[in-house]
Amino acid sequence: MSVPRILTSAALALGLASAAVAQEKTKVGFIYVGPVGDGGWTYEHDQGRLAVEEHFGDAVETVYQESVPEGTDAERAITQMALQGADLIFTTSFGFMDPTLNVAGKFPDVKFEHATGYKTAPNVSTYSARFYEGRAIQGHIAGKMTKSNVIGYIASYPIPEVIRGINAAYIHARKVNPDIEFKIIWVYTWFDPAKEADAATALIEQGADVILQHTDSTAPQSAAEKAEGVITFGQASDMAEYAPLPRVSSIIDNWAPYYIDRTQAVIDGNWESRQTWDGIGPGMVEIGEITDAVPADVKAEALAMKEAIAAGDYHPFTGPLKKQDGSDWLAEGETADDGTLLGMNFYVEGLTGEIPQ
């Protein structure tokens, strides 16, 4: 037996032993990519964690680690959490995908839940929200409200989730305003307030009067507020402290019901690996209050679209749609299948620039 193997089995034995001792209490772990006080993505995941604590009371203990970098260091953090005796671990960023699977292979008795990824294992589930449904509504409001016809988009990493958001927003902005132009900046970070603010400032200086962001902090909201005459949307969290202007609406991620549901499954012993992808209908994606800065008719249209999406009457990716290179994607009335959406790596027709590869 090699030394690492002995160590692993010793660790496993220790984990099993402690699990046996603490059988009464289910331990749920959370790995966060940013600080819980980011006011956006991680904040909402932590709200979900707190909801789990409140719902189960003494039956469940939660632990979390914040600001875990994506990559190899994440593997260490997840392993440590598994060694501490966690029964269920939520890893809440796309970049934790491979680390989660690697650790899951070493801890077959621990259940893992990876947010926004696409790889599963017998003890690894994935879950994500259909943020693009909210993006469609934002695109509609943005297209109606822009005066300069330039919309700035702060993108994080070129992954399908982000590209879906850009496409959904663009399609619906162009539908109501054919002259619309999207300027996209890839910042290659989920959380860096100074850089996010700089990106927003650069977009505003180049004429954008609507800023959409797919990063986690509220910094772009501050930058927009400083500039005046610019509107923004809350991302991942309501960011209501910037309402009524610049923030005119928001996409809110509501993870609490899912986290409670999955924790219950572990307690009941009927947890199974599955892929969850819920949108506005089941309540995983919420649309934050549309403020009075938005004209009443635009607000009514946006709310109507929200209802249609929630009821399943309208799909944000409905043909006819073409890809950026002009080739056909969806025919008249056809809607995109989940497989294509999950692996989306192309822009729709009309967007300029290239997706970094």
CB of 32 to other proteins, least distance (A): 11
Using the rule CB under 8 A, which residue among 54, 73, 109, 241 binds other proteins? 241
Using the rule CB under 8 A, which residue among 269, 333, 339, 356 binds other proteins? 356
Residue 138's φ and ψ, nearest 5 degrees, are -60, -45
CA distances 81 to 29, 103, 242, Å, are 7, 10, 36
CA distance 92 to 112: 11
Q: What are the DSSP calls for 17-46, one per residue?
A: HHHHHTTTSEEEEEE-SS-TTSSSHHHHHH
Phi-psi region of 111 (alpha: psi -120 to 50; beta: other; left: phi over 0): beta
Q: What are the DSSP calls for 231-265, one per residue?
A: EEEE-SS--GGGTTTTEEEEEEE--HHHHHHHHHH
Among 78-86, 119-127, 190-198, 285-293, which window interacts with other proteins (CB under 8 A)? 190-198
Closer by beta carbon to other proteins, 183 or else 315: 183
Using the rule CB under 8 A, which residue among 29, 39, 134, 234 binds other proteins? 39
CB of 150 to other proteins, least distance (A): 8
Using the rule CB under 8 A, which residue among 9, 119, 188, 311 binds other proteins? 188
Closer by beta carbon to other proteins, 34 or else 117: 34
CA distance 23 to 27: 9
CB of 195 to other proteins, least distance (A): 7
Tokens found for residue 298: 């635009």
Q: Does position 183 bind other proteins by CB under 8 A?
A: yes
Closer by beta carbon to other proteins, 82 or else 151: 151
Burial class (CB in 10 A: 0-12, 13-18, 19+), 200: buried
Closer by beta carbon to other proteins, 208 or else 210: 208
287 and 252 Cβ atoms separated by less than 8 Å: yes
Q: Residue 72: which residues within 8 A CB-CB, separation 6 or more?
A: 99
Among 4-12, 85-93, 109-117, 192-200, which window interacts with other proteins (CB under 8 A)? 192-200
122 and 151 Cβ atoms separated by less than 8 Å: no
Tokens found for residue 293: 């800065």
CA distance 270 to 86: 17
CB of 137 to other proteins, least distance (A): 23
Closer by beta carbon to other proteins, 157 or else 317: 157
Q: At what angle do helices 219-227 and 193-205 cross, to 10 degrees?
A: 30
Using the rule CB under 8 A, which residue among 194, 268, 272, 333 binds other proteins? 194
CB of 27 to other proteins, least distance (A): 23
Using the rule CB under 8 A, which residue among 202, 245, 308, 310 binds other proteins? 202
Q: What are the DSSP calls for 71-113, one per residue?
A: SHHHHHHHHHHHHTT-SEEEE-SGGGHHHHHHHHHH-TTSEEE
CB of 15 to other proteins, least distance (A): 27
Amino acid at 355: I
Site string for other proteins, 206-225 (x = CB under 8 A): xxx--------xxx-xxx-x
Q: Does position 71 bind other proteins by CB under 8 A?
A: no
Residues in contact with other proteins, counted by CB under 8 A, come to a total of: 46
CB of 218 to other proteins, least distance (A): 6
Among 1-9, 36-44, 290-298, 323-331, which window interacts with other proteins (CB under 8 A)? 36-44
List of residues contacting other proteins (CB under 8 A)? 34-39, 67, 152, 158, 183-189, 191-195, 197-199, 201-203, 205-208, 217-219, 221-223, 225-226, 239, 241-242, 352-354, 356
